[in-house]
């Protein structure tokens, strides 16, 4: 009896254990696979990193990640900018090349320090902003702008409306009265400047500079968001219609726009005294792709190269700047916008992936470790990474060609996709050596955060979550 009962109980427990094990086996296997993947990732990252020298310089953190709220720089806000103080911090010398110049922070800094620079960018809004910042006006021209400001009220009433761009969301990004006022001001700029291109460009940059502030949208992440939505945890909540507009723009939307534009022009005029000292006319801004660097500027005697390419993070900066691109007249069709996307570095999913891509050393090992069930994998992040580092190798090869004796400084941030860290700084150092540079140093400037889900999956890899300056010599 005792033995029989014990045997029955034991068999019952065994059946329960087997049943439970069968239920838990998928999780157990997932855990095993995760452990194996993490082990392989650690080994791969260590192998990639072993050939380079590493330096920590956290004093560079506020300069690689910079809020451009300084005279002239703030005429048109470009949040991806880095500080012109890098000229001094990195000892960039007297003649500087920036193949991804954005709105010209390095070039403005070079002018203020009495140096020379050449900047290149594929985004026509950024090129336009940089050129205006670097183009001193005559006293007669500043007097014209002052006169325009004094009559801005009249222009906002009597001018006819500038044509609406063909942007599909044009009427969604501005309230009707705000849109009408902006269009009248836009028309007045062309009529008032009377073919004085410098005056026209100054007024237009001021107008572009207020669009986001007076708009029903704002730039965020990989595009734009709308002000009628309030961010809540994990979602967006509708703001009460009518109330949010009143809170944001006040009761007189037309006056809100006029005041914003008047204040913007007043700020810009007050800072034109910066042009009194420096080498402003010795800076050159070129429109085009950094991958055509050799054709754009040829061989030159640069002391140094500095640039921060778009990071491999899927952000499409043409998407976030589409309001300025369309309303400023820099694109007039979707074909033109898509052509810009296709000429840019393959850092986003709207780039041209029909072009060939030779993977960087070690990149395929990282791609092989990615979680195939992750949304980023399904979106095509593997092709993005192959294209991105292929294009970056092309840029570095051209940098080496146009300035064979110059030190090259690349500000770059690492990223994480599908449970795998992508050490962009290490891969950039590696392809820099392939492009002909003899030595690469990775200078860690600051810690970067990654998406919460990726951070949870990559616990223990925090040292790779960083923004660095890769110095190639």
In angstroms, rounded to a whole number, what is the distance separating the alpha carbons of residues 93 and 406? 10
Is pTM, for the whole model, over 0.95? Answer: no
**Are the C-beta atoms of 182 and 214 separated by less than 8 Å?**
yes
In angstroms, rounded to a whole number, what is the distance separating the alpha carbons of residues 375 and 419? 11
Half-sphere exposure (CA, 13 Å, Cβ side) for 464? 23
In angstroms, rounded to a whole number, what is the distance separating the alpha carbons of residues 124 and 326? 11
Query: Coil, strand, or helix at residue 231?
Result: strand
β-partners of residue 224 are 219
Angle at 223 between CA 384 and CA 127, to 5 degrees: 85
Our measurement of the distance from residue 251's CA atom to the centroid of its chain's CA atoms, rounded to an integer in Å, reads 35
Query: Coil, strand, or helix at residue 234?
Result: coil
**Are the C-beta atoms of 223 and 316 separated by less than 8 Å?**
yes
Give me the phi and psi of 28, to 5 degrees please.
Answer: -65, -45
In angstroms, rounded to a whole number, what is the distance separating the alpha carbons of residues 406 and 398? 12
SS (H, E, C) 43-105: HHHHHHHCCCEEEECHHHHHHHCCCCCCCCHHHCCCCCCCCCCHHHHCCCCCEEEECCCCCCH
Mean pLDDT for each 10-residue chunk of the chain (473 residues)? Answer: 37 47 48 77 92 95 90 90 95 97 96 97 97 97 96 89 96 96 96 94 98 94 87 82 94 96 98 97 96 89 95 89 97 95 90 83 93 92 94 96 96 94 96 96 92 81 94 98
For the chain, domain boundaries: 1-35, 53-472
β-partners of residue 440 are 472
Half-sphere exposure (CA, 13 Å, Cβ side) for 324? 30
In angstroms, rounded to a whole number, what is the distance separating the alpha carbons of residues 410 and 307? 5
**Are the C-beta atoms of 203 and 268 separated by less than 8 Å?**
no
Six token digits for residue 96 = 């500087």
Six token digits for residue 186 = 């836009």
pLDDT at 32: 61
Give me the phi and psi of 162, to 5 degrees please.
Answer: -65, 145
Query: Coil, strand, or helix at residue 183?
Result: helix
In angstroms, rounded to a whole number, what is the distance separating the alpha carbons of residues 423 and 64? 17
The DSSP secondary structure of 294-330, one letter per residue, reads HHHH-S---SEEEE-PPPSS---HHHHTHHHHHHTTS
pLDDT at 387: 94
**Are the C-beta atoms of 265 and 206 separated by less than 8 Å?**
yes
Nearest alpha carbon to residue 429 among 416, 444, 418, 417: 444
Nearest alpha carbon to residue 109 among 125, 98, 99: 98
In angstroms, rounded to a whole number, what is the distance separating the alpha carbons of residues 366 and 344? 24
**Are the C-beta atoms of 424 and 312 separated by less than 8 Å?**
yes
pLDDT at 372: 92
pLDDT at 1: 31
Q: Could you give the maximum distance between any two Cα atoms of the chain, in Å?
A: 113
Our measurement of the distance from residue 465's CA atom to the centroid of its chain's CA atoms, rounded to an integer in Å, reads 18
């Amino acid at each position: 009896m005792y033995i029989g009962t014990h045997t029955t109980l034991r068999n019952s427990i065994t059946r329960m254990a087997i049943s439970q094990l069968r239920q838990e086996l998928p999780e157990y296997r997932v855990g095993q696979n995760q452990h194996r993947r993490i082990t392989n990732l650690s080994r791969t990252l260590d192998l990639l990193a072993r050939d380079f020298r590493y330096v920590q310089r956290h004093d560079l953190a506020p300069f690689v990640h910079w809020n451009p709220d300084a005279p002239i720089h703030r005429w048109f806000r470009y949040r991806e900018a880095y500080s012109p103080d890098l000229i001094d911090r990195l000892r960039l010398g007297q003649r500087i090349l920036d193949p991804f110049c954005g709105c010209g922070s390095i070039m403005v800094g070079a002018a203020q320090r009495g140096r020379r620079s050449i900047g290149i960018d594929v985004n026509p809004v950024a090129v336009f902003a940089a050129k205006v910042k670097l183009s001193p006006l005559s006293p007669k021209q500043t007097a014209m702008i002052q006169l325009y400001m004094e009559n801005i009220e009249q222009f906002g009433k009597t001018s006819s409306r500038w044509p609406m761009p063909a942007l599909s969301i044009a009427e969604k990004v501005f309230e009707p009265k705000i849109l009408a006022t902006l269009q009248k001001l836009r028309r007045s700029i062309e009529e008032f400047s009377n073919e004085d291109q410098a005056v026209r460009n100054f007024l237009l940059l001021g107008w572009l500079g207020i669009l986001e502030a007076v708009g029903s949208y704002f730039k965020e992440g990989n595009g734009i968001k709308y002000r009628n939505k309030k961010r809540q945890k994990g979602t967006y909540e509708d703001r009460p219609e009518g109330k949010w507009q009143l809170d944001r723009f006040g009761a007189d939307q037309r006056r809100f726009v006029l005041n914003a534009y008047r204040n913007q022009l007043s700020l810009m005029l007050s800072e034109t005294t910066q042009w009194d000292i420096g080498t402003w006319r010795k800076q050159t801004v070129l429109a085009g792709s950094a991958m055509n660097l050799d054709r754009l500027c040829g061989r030159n005697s640069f002391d140094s190269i500095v640039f921060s390419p778009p990071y491999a993070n899927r952000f499409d900066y043409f998407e976030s700047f589409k309001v300025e691109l369309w309303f400023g007249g820099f694109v007039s069709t979707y074909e033109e916008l898509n052509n810009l996307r296709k000429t840019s570095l393959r850092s986003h999913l709207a780039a041209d992936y029909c072009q060939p891509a030779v993977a960087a050393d070690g990149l395929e090992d990282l791609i092989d470790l990615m979680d195939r069930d992750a949304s980023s994998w399904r979106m095509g992040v593997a092709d993005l990474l192959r294209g991105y580092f292929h294009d970056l190798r092309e840029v570095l090869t051209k940098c080496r060609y146009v300035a064979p004796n110059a030190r090259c400084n690349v500000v770059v941030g690492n990223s994480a996709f599908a449970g795998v860290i992508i050490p962009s700084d290490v891969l950039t150092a590696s392809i820099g050596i392939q492009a002909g540079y003899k030595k690469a140093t990775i200078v860690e400037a600051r810690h970067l955060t990654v998406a919460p889900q990726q951070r949870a999956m990559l616990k223990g890899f925090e040292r790779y979550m960083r923004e660095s300056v890769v110095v190639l010599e």
